[in-house]
Amino acid sequence: MIIVLKPDATEAQTDHLLDRLRELGFKTHVSKGEERTIVGIIGDDRLLQNQPLTAFPGVESATPILAPWKLVSREFKKEDTVIDVSGVKIGGKKITVMAGPCAVEKLELTVGIAHEVKAGGATVLRGGAYKPRTSPYSFQGVGREGLDYLLEAKKQTGLPVVSEILDPRDIELFLAKADIIQIGARNMQNFELLKEVGAYDKPVLLKRGLSATIKEFLLSAEYIMSRGNRNVMLCERGIRTFETQYRHTLDLAAVPSLKELSHLPVIVDPSHATGKWQLVAPMAKAAVAAGADGLLIEVHSHPECALCDGEESIKPAKFKELMHDMSKIAQAIGREI
């Protein structure tokens, strides 16, 4: 249920309404816009059917939300959400490019790549300290010291950092050391992890599960938001289909579709979506044209020696060229990079 308050509703009237809803056992989320305050009520709408909500002073309308997700929906919030990550605004006119190695390896290498992606125009550094690998015998990431390498890279370049959490017990570490916490595709439905990151206001990059529908994806975002965290970004990273020519199939229709259904920023990861460095630039450009608010791109100075995903990593020179091409596309559709 969404309750829209009248423009001249007083604070006392708002509090009266919120007190009553609390008394009835509902959780509320208040969104104060420039003209209107909107109250989202979390819980079973059917239990509100017999409540005379529009009889409350200050209330203009009460409308049930039809979508199964509520806080992430456009019905709840009409304007695009813009998330401030240490000064980098994600979800506005400017498209955010997050780039860096798949995995954090050595300190010097991480810092070196950070300088290179910054020179190319990236505004966020990516890098996994903990890697969710299909095989237990593959490189699992350097672990917590990887977050320190990223911090050093941030200190030298000023780039905020996105890194993936695998274990809810590491939350304090990530709150202290990462600017954006990534939930990877394999953990999109790890509900305990979603609830954990939902309990803070640290920005979260939620990746779409390998076989997740748009509905399941949005419901996972709803898990995070329903715990209070409003700083959620959605990342399309390719889904499993019958096609085996590339690693996954990039579902670009997800971009306008998610933007229609939700107010959250939509990011595209053309690297994991294709698994082939040759396909990364064309798909990154297509993502910009489709309306993505950001990109997550794997860049490595020596992909042939990378400990993880070298085959889909592009070199810094290619990244720079791609940034140049994407900025022309962005301009053509009234955006910037």
Sites of contact with ligand PEP (CB under 6 A): 102, 128, 132, 164, 184-186, 207, 237, 269, 272
Query: What is the C-alpha separation between 81 and 68, in angstroms, rounded?
Result: 20
Enumerate residues 305-334 that contact Mn ion by CB under 5 A. 309
- Nearest residue to ligand PEP on Cβ basis: 184
125 SS3 class: strand
Asked if residue 150 lies in contact with residue 178, where contact means CB atoms within 8 angstroms, the answer is yes
Look up residue 199 and give its amino acid: A
Q: Is 299 an interacting residue with respect to Mn ion (CB under 5 A)?
A: no
Between 293 and 309, name the residue whose CB sits nearer to Mn ion: 309
Smallest distance, Å, CB 25 to ligand PEP? 37
- Counting DSSP H helices and E strands in the chain, the numbers are 10, 14
- Which one of Mn ion, ligand PEP, none interacts with residue 164, CB within 5 to 8 A by kind? ligand PEP
Contact partner at residue 237 from Mn ion, ligand PEP, none, CB < 5 to 8 Å by partner kind: ligand PEP
Q: Considering CB distances under 5 to 8 angstroms, the limit depending on partner class, which of Mn ion, ligand PEP, none binds residue 185? A: ligand PEP
- CA-nearest of 159, 49, 30, 170 to 100 is 159
When asked if residue 222 is in the footprint of Mn ion (CB under 5 A), the reply is no
Query: Interface with Mn ion includes 180 (CB under 5 A)?
Result: no
Nearer to Mn ion, 21 or 183 (CB): 183
Of the candidates 161, 227, 215, which has an alpha carbon nearest to the alpha carbon of residue 189? 215
With CA atoms as reference, report the closest residue to 267 among 275, 259, 279. Answer: 259
Q: How far is the CB of 175 from ligand PEP (least distance, A)?
A: 19
Distances from the Cα of 267 to the Cα of 166, 258, 296, angstroms: 20, 10, 7
Of 128 and 198, nearer to ligand PEP (C-beta) is: 128
Distance (Å, whole) CA 249 – CA 233: 20
Place of tokens 């709803």: 222
Q: Taking a C-beta distance cutoff of 8 angstroms, is the pair 235, 208 a contact?
A: yes
Whether the CB-CB separation of 264 and 232 falls below 8 Å is answered with yes
The phi-psi region of residue 172 (left if phi > 0; otherwise alpha if psi is between -120 and 50; otherwise beta) is: alpha
To ligand PEP, the closest distance from the beta carbon of 127 in angstroms equals: 8
CB of 186 to ligand PEP, least distance (A): 6
Say how far apart CA 177 and CA 329 lie, in whole Å: 34
In the complex with ligand PEP, which residue's Cβ is closer, 25 or 136? 136
CB of 103 to ligand PEP, least distance (A): 7
Q: Tell me if 295 contacts Mn ion by CB under 5 A.
A: no
185 binds Mn ion (CB under 5 A): no
DSSP 55-100: GSTTEEEEE---SS--TTBTTT--SPP-EEETTEEESSSBPEEEEE
In the complex, least distance from residue 207 CB atom to ligand PEP, rounded to whole angstroms:
4
Cβ distance to ligand PEP smaller for residue 185 or 225: 185
The residue among 146 and 184 lying less far from ligand PEP, judged by its C-beta, is 184
- Least distance (Å) from ligand PEP to the CB of residue 291? 20
Contact string (CB under 5 A) for Mn ion, positions 93-132, x = contact? ---------x------------------------------
Any idea how long the chain is?
337
Q: Where does this chain bind Mn ion (CB under 5 A)?
A: 102, 309
